[in-house]
Amino acid sequence: MQQLSRRQFLAASAGLVAGVACGGGGGSKAAPTPASNAVASFPQFDHLVVLMMENRTFDNMLGYLYSPGKVPRGQKFDGVAGKNLFNLAPDGTKIPVSQGTVMDDPNPDPGEEYPHINTDLFGTVIPSTNAGKDVTKMEAPFNAPSPIPVPAPMNGFVQDYINRFTLYKGRPPTQAEYSIIMHCFPPSAVPVISTLAKGFAVADHWHCEVPSQTFCNRSFFHAGTSSGFTSNEPYSQFPFHNTAPTVFNRLDDKGLPWRIYFDTKDLLPMTALIHFEPLLPKLTTNVKTMQDFHADVAGGKLPAYSFIEPRMIIHHNDEHPPAPLFDDITPPSSVLAGEQLIAEVYNAIRTSNSSTGSNWRNTALLITYDEGGGCYDHVSPPAAVTPDIGQRPGEEGFMFDRLGVRVPAVLVSAYTAAGTVVNAPLHHTAVARTMQEKWGIAYLTQRDKTAPDLAPFFNLTKPRSPSSWPTVSPRPAGDAVEDPRQNLNELQLAFIGAIDAAFPSPGSSAANVKTIGDAQTFLAEKATHVPPRS
């Protein structure tokens, strides 16, 4: 089977309708039949809010949530506590899973692209020369073994982190430096998400959709496909070649309101760039600020579906691990800033008490992460339904027939019992599937059509009063002062690149943006070229 590089795949797919001629599926633009059991399902909520954070696995954030014997009501919980979990160092030393309390770790950022995740899952570097290469220069089969082992041994996180670190720093890491990839936060380190996971429901088998990075996984969340793409680069490919319809379009078809809320420091929401063609007409009407979110929550004016993006570029609070340091300056890339955002959104919903429209009683909040970002997890990803019948190979030869690693997923609802652990296999398109059943919107691809739904999270027949909801106390995140010389992480570079591709201007170029200071100048210039919001 021919395995196309990123640029070869993009060239082959240029000019073709995504999902019709591109491998990887984009779904037909003709609306399929709505779900047959629509409208009667999910009376527990009228408003669904999703907050999607960045690049953390389930084990990394919640693996220590419950100790053995401490899981409520005899439920099962698949974490790391009490297990003999490790990866091997090159010299054969066992590097065990252990608790981590450095809130910038893993620092520097692990590899998150498809070849890096293959090494994480399978412990393979194929061909061996890929070990010393930047991911853009890696060769087929992009570290994927043949046949693919089932289950995946999950034994290559240390190996890949060593390779990545060496490329960053120009020297191999010490054992102390590479052992951090096996660190997982205890509940005391991340008290907000841990408190909500215990106070409501946590899913311990929720997987991202693709064993790769941000853009493709965020695309799958709302479109059930990434139009065959597995990587963020080149940065023009998602804005101009990922033309598949989204749940936002399906909600429009039904006359149902939706909004994307974001922090204006980012200039635009990333979602609008990933789905640029389908969402461009909505930039001035359906894209709102976090200030608007708080006003809408307080006033009972949340739409049927709300999607919240964390701040990703300047003073980012998305929890994404940091880029390589400039002169080893410690950057404010702490998970604690994300904890504060989660608390902010949760408290806004918990205290919403409008007598009409949205309120604590009829609003469900899902907190999840786009993908694992190369952080450790011990559970092998399962097989997946391909987006298209007759699936063709996509970028890097990937068939979109297996999911990515587990990511945290916590659901907050008045109809969810405290201490709920959902063991059912789930993945991102469970949200689209739930919308189909709730509101009768049409499915997008075979992936979301066959996805499980969110029903296991709603296990109460009467709503819990907010007085029974837990209070959350985020740890101080420190000040938000960033050194302008700090390097941008890969997500920030991709975000900047996509903005530049979507809104080109002679006064700025993403190619010249490498640091926080560069990004500030770039965003200020681009602000004059982006359509104003209503």
What percent of the chain clears pLDDT 70, i.e. is strictly above it? 90
Provide CB contacts within 8 A for 182, sequence distance 6+: 86, 87, 95, 96, 97, 98, 157, 158, 376
Question: Do residues 194 and 213 lie in contact, with contact meaning Cβ atoms separated by under 8 Å?
Answer: no
Does residue 16 have a pLDDT over 80? no
- 6-464 CATH, one of 2.60.120.10, 3.20.20.140, 3.40.720.10, 3.10.450.50: 3.40.720.10
Q: How confident is the model at residue 485 (pLDDT cuts 50, 70, 90)?
A: confident
pLDDT digits (tens, 9 = 90+) for 191-221: 999 999 999 999 999 999 999 999 999 999 9
The reply to whether omega before 281 is within 30° of 0 (cis) is no
Is the separation of the CB atoms in 418 and 11 below 8 Å? no
Q: What is the pLDDT of residue 168?
A: 87
The answer to whether 100 touches 183, Cβ cutoff 8 Å, is yes
Considering the chain, what is the average pLDDT of its residues?
Answer: 92
Work out the average pLDDT over 248-267. Answer: 98
Express each pLDDT in 48-95 by its tens digit.
999 999 999 999 999 999 999 999 988 999 999 999 999 999 999 999
Residue 24 contacts by C-beta under 8 Å, 6 or more apart in sequence? 225, 226, 227, 228, 229, 230, 387, 388, 391, 392, 393, 394, 395, 398, 400
Beta carbons of 59 and 80 less than 8 angstroms apart: yes
Q: Are 220 and 369 in contact (CB under 8 A)?
A: no
pLDDT of 480: 58
Half-sphere exposure of 481 (CA within 13 A, CB side): 4
Quick one: pLDDT band at residue 508, thresholds 50, 70, 90? confident
Report pLDDT digits (tens) over 104-113: 899 999 999 9
Q: Is the pLDDT of residue 327 over 90?
A: no
Phi then psi dihedrals of residue 140, to 5 deg: -60, 145
Q: What is the pLDDT of residues 331-344, one digit of tens each?
A: 556 899 999 999 99
- Give the position of tokens 């904890």: 339
Residue with tokens 């092998």: 380
255 burial via Cβ count (<10 Å: 0-12, 13-18, 19+): exposed
pLDDT tens digits, 365-386? 999 999 999 999 999 999 999 9
**What radius of gyration, in Å, describes the C-alpha atoms of the chain?**
22
> Could you report the per-residue pLDDT of 389-436, keeping only the tens digit for each?
999 999 999 999 999 999 999 999 999 999 999 999 999 999 999 999
330 Rama sector, left if φ>0, alpha if ψ -120 to 50, beta otherwise: beta
Residue 435 has what pLDDT? 98
For residue 132, give Cα distances in angstroms to 141, 162, 169. 15, 10, 12
pTM attached to this predicted model: 0.93
The pLDDT confidence band at residue 479, using thresholds 50, 70 and 90, is low
